[in-house]
Structure 1
Amino acid sequence: MLVLYFLFVLIFLCILHLFLNYNEQARLIRKIPGPKDNFIIGNMMEILSLSPEQLFALGRKYAATFDGIYRFWAYPIRSVFVCNPEDIEIVVSSMKHTDKGILYKFLKPWLNDGLLLSKGEKWLQRRKILTPTFHFNILRQFCLIFEENNLRLGRSLKLTDQKAVNIMQILSDYTLHTICETAMGTPLDETSNTGKSYKEAVYKIGLLLIERLISGYLMSDFLFSFTSIYRQQLKYLTNLHNFTNKVIRKRKRYIKTHGASNYNVGEPVTTTKKKTAMLDLLILAENDGLLNEDGIREEVDTFMFEGHDTTACGLTYLLLSIANNKHIQDKVVAELNKIFGENERPASIEDLAAMRYLECCIKETLRLYPPVPFLTRTLSETVKLSNYTVPAGTECIIQSYDLHRREDLYVNAHKFDPDRFLPENCVGRHPFAYIPFSAGPRNCIGQKFAMLEMKSCAAAVLRHFELHPVTRECDVRFKSDVVLRSAEPILLKFVERNTK
């Protein structure tokens, strides 16, 4: 009897294995190179219980092992990872594959249908509403706010007294103040602790997302809702939404009293030729019936996150790279001296445009350290990638981190070399070999804003401080997160320059 019971279970498991791993979609996916499959559970054992650092390292191992494309299969999850420009172009260059993948689903309770996660007609409408807020004339006005925050940052760096400091913390403060005062038109209350609570909640949400990913069963929203991690998430979401709701209420009160910035009150948002800061435009769009209060918060949540955390990451790795390459730091300072001489005046937008070598440094930083190290798309139809047939519904994960470090695209790819982005050295480069701000119709709407902010901040720091490395580039270890997060603090020393 026991033998029969054993045989019954064995037959059932074999049938289950065939059903899960040899259906039509499974056969197509498993033709793509990838890790060894296990009985029934496919590749799930590869990631279960890994730490965030181990998960990041595993991704780099697979990218090095498989030539530009590999798959992950664990029913019902089917994913294909790509890091070659030809396949990336197929996926991101059209409007066919614009839906985000399962990893972004975990951000839904926070960002809901903001521009990052929305799709279809809603995404298109929001994109049209928000695009004018990053017009050149708006960005020009932001230069003064950049400079005010540069002064605040400079005072903070002076207080470090040449001691090693965690620059991510300092730069995160800087970028959070900047996005609040520019796109949101609402200065942070420096006497309260709300900014610190907001940044901590952003960090914790990222950790919870990765914990869900590597736990397997927590990918189910139903099972997740019974866990202590879910209760932690609710607490952090409350902090995040309270922060953005406070920003919105404060700006609404201001508009009610003073009117929106650079806008003729009463003129329909869709027809105005004037340019308006982002939150003002959203509030006015609500008045015109184009979106509701939830829609405003979705976009504010999205831009508060993307506008401060990703930019802080970019600035962190920029200063790290410049500090560790003294000859490059000297070239940047020489360029700044040529622009400003001994004049202590703030930088205008024309000055920022003239910082061409610093711009190359920023672009090279974003190549080596893309703040968003991967993008995901859900394939809306069956496509050919690297001559493999990938069925519709598959999650395509575009690994910009590994794309940017391919030796066949960038000679000595792990070296920090800003000269790669001199105009003459960009000729002939595949247009999808460099995608720090994504690419195609769903590229980053705020990339010009981010570039100007990074230029303004880096220039202000280098005009007044010498950067001395404590953390070396080779010592940086990363962990899986929504952004490119270092596993340990990145430390630098700031020594005031002799400006006499």
Structure 2
Amino acid sequence: MINFVGCLIQSSVMKVIFIVLFIIVVVLYLYCRFSRRGRLFAKIPGPPRWPLIGNVHNFKLPRDKLFEYLRTLNKTYGDVIASGTLDVTAIHIYNPNDIETVITKCTKKYKPYTFLRRWLGDGLLISNGSKWQYRRKLLTHAFHFDVLRKYARTFADEAEVFMAAVDKEAVMEQADVNRLINKTTLRIICKTVMGTSMKEDIDSLTTKYLEAIHRIAAALFPRMLNFLLYLDITFQISKYGWEERAAIKELHQITKSIIKERKSYINSDNYKQNETEKILNKKGRLAMLDLLIENEREGKIDVDGIREEVDTFMFRGFDTTSVTMAYLIMLIANNLEIQNKIYEEMKSIFGDSCRLATIGDLKEMKYLECCIKETLRLYPAVPYIVRTITEEIVLGGYVIPARTMCQIHIYDLHRRPDLYPEPERYIPERFLPENSIDRHLFAYLPFSAGSRNCIGQKFAMLQMKTLMSSLIRKYRLEAVTKTADLKFYVDFVLRADRPIFVRFCPRKV
């Protein structure tokens, strides 16, 4: 009898719990669907949304399949697309007019950028408000023309090191472009922006750095697609949280060693006797890390703030330039007529001389600059950016509620046939001044735009010009990897699923 009563009570309790949970689910659904936010969201086109779980099933795909799926959205649903789950909503936009509205009005960055906070802290990529404004103003001095002119010599010196590595690969049937470029760009950013030569073996450092970044990406992308992992507590106890912490520990060790080495040099007699450093110091135009260290001495930034910015610029300055250079070399190898035009431009600047490129030479490389810009159109290093809409705005005729993540798909924007006829073709002439006059200001965003555009875009352009001018003068590039061979997957940058190979053929002297 007692057992029967106990079972009856237990059964009643379970029924009450079930009823309560059912009521909570129903109320939650009614709120998400019929609140003003929910009603506005329901009017926006997009993949069919299920009650409560929304579109989570559409996006829960392997990262290569997800990249392919994202390419279908604009063609299927138009220029403003909604997706989301529960009360977490996102829109996807592709029209330059809408993009201009968002970039000029919505400068705040929250999720998913905040998922990078344990790695990058409140560095320039993530921070908002007065902290971002102060750091942006401060670090802009590190990319003044006087500083870039000093870097040009380092670019040229590193181009010689790069060419020595290419010489070794020229005897092979094919060379791994990614491997060659990764080592070079990491060394350049260490020697210029960070002002250190890095005593660790560059091959080992490059491998360690890239592997750690890949591990963080593999941990964070499942988080973006799983509502339960949005919460820090659930993410931290998941296997992804453990993997992220291990990768971040390695990355922080690398950046801390860079800061330590530079501080040691600044305190040495060699630094104090360096006349160039003295001149730049008097003008307030120091290398980025030196600028941060000086501000630490003045109490304007702490050691964690320095690490935040070093982590941010190591990540954004190294990885984005590396992938762009690899795609540039591949495209030039696959387009011999364009390659010949670049070579003729180099001949007009250098003649038969083998001298290193100067800052003046780099300014004359107009056609090569068009080639780089067209590469960034086809293969933007950062294929999408996100802004948080903080107040209701109208995009494409739809009212977008506040607290909505807005994904700007740069990859698809750059391939719109109404903006770029024959969008899949590599046509550098698109970026000649006479062909760019009527283009919408927000139709081309390889470095983002507005107040939060890329602070190092001139640095990147000069670096790529220097390396390519040295390479194209000495070697003819033959295609091994074709553009059609590449497939991409969702990552921090536009990363292909395989290495890029070319064949280096020495030019006849």
Q: TM-score, normalised by structure 2?
A: 0.92
Are the aligned partners of 2:178 and 2:322 in contact in 1 as well (CA < 8 Å)? yes
Q: Partners in 2 of 1:421 and 1:52 — Cα distance?
A: 32
Asked if the contact 1:263/1:275 (under 8 Å) is kept, the reply is: no
Is the aligned partner of 1:288 residue 2:298? yes
Q: What letter corresponds to residue 218 of structure 1 in structure 2?
A: L
Tell which structure's C-alpha radius of gyration is larger. 2
> 1:101–1:396: 8 Å Cα contact kept in structure 2?
no
Deviations 1:229-252 (A, max 9, x none): 211111110110000000001100
Q: Which residue of 2 aligns with 1:222?
A: 233
Give 1:73 deviation, angstroms: 1.8
Task: Please report how far the alpha carbon of residue 75 of structure 1 lies from its aligned counterpart in structure 2 after TM superposition.
Answer: 1.7
Indicate whether 1:108 and 2:117 are aligned. yes
Question: What does residue 278 of structure 1 align with?
Answer: 288
1:493, 1:170 → 2: CA distance?
Answer: 13
Q: Does 1:43 align with 2:52?
A: no
Question: Whole-Å Cα distance in 1 between the matches of residues 128 and 500 of structure 2?
Answer: 36
Structure 2 residue 74 is matched with structure 1 residue 63 = yes
Candidates 186, 196, 210, aligned match of 1:199: 210
* 8 Å Cα contact 1:21-1:42 kept in structure 2: no
Cα distance in 1 between the residues matched to 2:200 and 2:53: 51
- CA distance in structure 1 between the partners assigned to 2:41 and 2:466 by the alignment: 46
Aligned AA (2:135): R
Q: 2:484 pairs with 449, 459, 474, which one?
A: 474
CA contact (8 A) 1:186 1:250 kept: yes
Kept in 1: contact 2:85–2:227 (CA 8 A): no
Unaligned segments of structure 2, at least 5 residues: 1-10
The answer on 1:417 being equivalent to 2:427 is: yes
Greater mean deviation of Cα atoms: 157-166 or 295-304: 157-166
Cα offsets for 1:177-212 (capped at 9, x unmatched):
000000011012253733321221122212222222
Q: 1:150 to 1:190 in 2, by over 3 A?
A: farther
Q: Does 1:154 align with 2:163?
A: yes
Q: Which amino acid aligns with 1:470?
A: V
Which moved further from structure 2: 309-318 or 253-262?
A: 253-262
Aligned partners of 1:210 and 1:301: how far apart in 2? 20
2:107 aligned counterpart, secondary structure: coil
Residues 1:144 and 2:156 are matched in the alignment: no
| Equivalent position amino acid for 2:49 in 1 | D
**Residue by residue, what CA displacement relative to the aligned partner does 1:16-53 show, whole Å, maximum 9, x if unpaired?**
322233322121122111100112211111112x1110
1:459 is matched with 469
Superposed displacement of residue 8, structure 1: 8.3
Q: 2:362 aligns with which of 352, 365, 388?
A: 352
Secondary structure at the aligned position of 1:376 is classed as strand
Query: 1:274, CA displacement in angstroms?
Result: 3.7
Q: Is contact 1:29–1:73 with CA below 8 Å preserved after alignment?
A: no
The aligned runs of 1:220-369 (5 Å cut-off) are 220-258=231-269, 259=271, 262=276, 273-369=283-379
1:53·1:478 contact (CA, 8 Å) conserved in 2? yes
SS in structure 2 of the partner of residue 494 of structure 1:
strand
Shift, 1:337, TM fit: 1.0
Does residue 423 of structure 2 align to residue 388 of structure 1?
no
CA distance in 2, matches of 1:168, 1:208: 23
What is the RMSD of the two structures over their aligned residues, measured on CA atoms? 2.1
1:30 aligns with 2:39: no
Contact kept? 1:263, 1:274, Cα under 8 Å: no
Q: Counterpart amino acid of 2:471?
A: V
Q: Which has the higher helix share?
A: 2
The question of whether the paired residues in 2 share the 8 Å contact of 1:33 and 1:66 is answered with: yes
Cα distance in 1, alignment partners of residues 383 and 283 from structure 2: 36
Higher mean C-alpha deviation, range 69-78 or range 435-444: 69-78
Among all aligned residue pairs of Structure 1 and Structure 2, give the percentage whose two residues are the same amino acid: 41
Equivalent residues, number: 491
Deviates more, 1:62-71 or 1:317-326: 62-71
Please name the residue that 1:134 is paired with.
Answer: 143
- 2:439 maps to what in 1? 429
State which drifts further: 322-331 or 159-168: 159-168
Q: How does 1:48-127 map to 2 (within 5 A)?
A: 48=60, 50-93=61-104, 96-127=105-136
AA of the residue aligned to 1:429? R
In 2, distance between residues paired with 1:63 and 1:239?
39
Q: Which moved more, 1:107-116 or 1:161-170?
A: 161-170
Instruction: Note the alpha carbon deviations across 1:61-91, whole angstroms, 9 max, x for none.
Output: 1022122211112123111111111011111
Q: After the TM superposition, which of the residue ranges 208-217 and 135-144 deviates more from structure 2?
A: 208-217
**Aligned match of 1:17:** 29
Distance 1:354 1:264 in 2: 30
Q: Which amino acid in structure 1 is aligned with residue 66 of structure 2?
A: L
Q: What amino acid maps onto 1:196 in structure 2?
A: T
Cα offsets for 1:153-200 (capped at 9, x unmatched):
112222222332331222111110000000011012253733321221
Q: Give the SS at the match of 2:225.
A: helix
Aligned to 1:210: 221
Instruction: Report the Cα distance in structure 2 between the residues aligned to 1:452 and 1:126, rounded to whole angstroms.
Output: 23
Contact 1:381 1:391 in 2 (8 A): yes
Deviations 1:275-322 (A, max 9, x none): 211111110011111111111111100001111000001111111111
CA contact (8 A) 2:383 2:494 kept: yes
Query: Structure 1 residues 383, 454: CA separation in 2 closer, same or farther (over 3 Å shift)?
Result: same
- Checking the alignment, whether the CA contact within 8 Å between 1:162 and 1:495 is kept in structure 2 is no
